[in-house]
Chain A
């Protein structure tokens, strides 16, 4: 994961016309934004639209980006979150689709198992309240820090800690019965 300065440098290079910087930022941010949006919206096509729209806004904002602002990735997650919220307000909640998970190196069985695990996780995440889901995804899947999540969700760091803790408790309860079925060892507790 790049530092704030690294990300800002890439954005500055892009603003000066360096398309390789755009490629690096795309490879860095777009997969994470896509995963986040897919889990928030439960719709792959809409998640792709949100990802493209977020990146487009990043490109347009690049010339005005000032050093010392939040990380570009934090800014992008906030934009993506707002776009997802707008879309969710316009429709009823849906059960999330499973994102496609191509993995050429793993065998078919392993791929299926990995897909089943991710699907179980998505189904469990879909049952969390919106803010808990956002906090858990950003913290535990996208690996953002609590202050970054606080900036994205526009709440305090303590609120983020509380949201992730409650979200994890509920996820634990939801996934407890599926561990063995999904190939995880049964040696526990």
Chain B
């Protein structure tokens, strides 16, 4: 007859295998790690990092949007006004604009071009 170990006997073996304790030295090392983790400022989570990244882009985005809007207003509304009807500051601004565009596109004075 083949002798077999029953489930109950296996349970006794399993019970015998459960009795290992945690060595004090290892426990101390683990708790030292835990204390160090508490002492250190926690690394920001990925959500916090994403929020910071988005926040970092918010200010340049707003500034860029405002700049683009002003440039659009200037080019679309202010520039077509006759130089003689424009305020002095605008004349100066057009002068600067000309300095930039003339070497590039060859336009010296929009009024001379018939605009």
Residues in chain A within 8 A of chain B (CB atoms):
14-15, 17, 19, 22-23, 26-27, 30-31, 34-35, 38-39, 48, 51-52, 55-56, 59-60, 62-64, 99-103, 114, 117-118, 120-122, 124, 140-141, 168, 171-173, 175-177, 179, 184, 188-189
Given A19-B38, A103-B19, 13 further pairs, Cβ under 8 A: A14-B34, A15-B42, A19-B34, A30-B26, A31-B21, A60-B43, A141-B18, A168-B10, A171-B5, A172-B4, A172-B6, A176-B3, A176-B4
Q: Is the interface of A mostly helix, strand, loop or mixed?
A: helix
Question: Which residues in B have their C-beta under 8 angstroms from that of A31?
Answer: 20-22
Give A141 to B9 CA distance when docked, in angstroms: 14
Task: Contact check, A117 vs B16: say whether CB atoms are below 8 A apart.
Answer: yes
| B23 interface contact, C-beta 8 A | yes
Place the interface of chain B in its size category. Answer: 20 to 34
Give A141 to B19 CA distance when docked, in angstroms: 10
Question: Which residues in A have their C-beta under 8 angstroms from that of B21?
Answer: 31, 100-102
Question: Which residues in A have their C-beta under 8 angstroms from that of B42?
Answer: 15, 63
15 contacts across the A-B interface (CB closer than 8 A): A14-B34, A15-B42, A22-B35, A26-B34, A30-B22, A31-B21, A51-B26, A51-B30, A101-B20, A118-B16, A118-B20, A121-B14, A121-B16, A175-B9, A189-B3
| B82 interface contact, C-beta 8 A | no
Q: A100-B23, A188-B6 are in contact. Are A62 and B16 (CB under 8 A)?
A: no
Most buried by B among A59, A124, A141: A59
Task: Contact check, B19 vs A118: say whether CB atoms are below 8 A apart.
Answer: yes
Give A146 to B9 CA distance when docked, in angstroms: 22
Closest to A176 in B: B5
Question: Which residues in A have their C-beta under 8 angstroms from that of B35?
Answer: 19, 22
Q: A59-B37, A141-B14, A176-B3 are in contact. Are A188 and B20 (CB under 8 A)?
A: no
Give A171 to B11 CA distance when docked, in angstroms: 11
Give A55 to B40 CA distance when docked, in angstroms: 16
Question: Which residues in A have their C-beta under 8 angstroms from that of B43?
Answer: 60
Q: Shortest CB–CB separation between residue B20 and chain A, in angstroms?
A: 4
Give A23 to B34 CA distance when docked, in angstroms: 9
Closest to B22 in A: A31
Give A188 to B4 CA distance when docked, in angstroms: 8
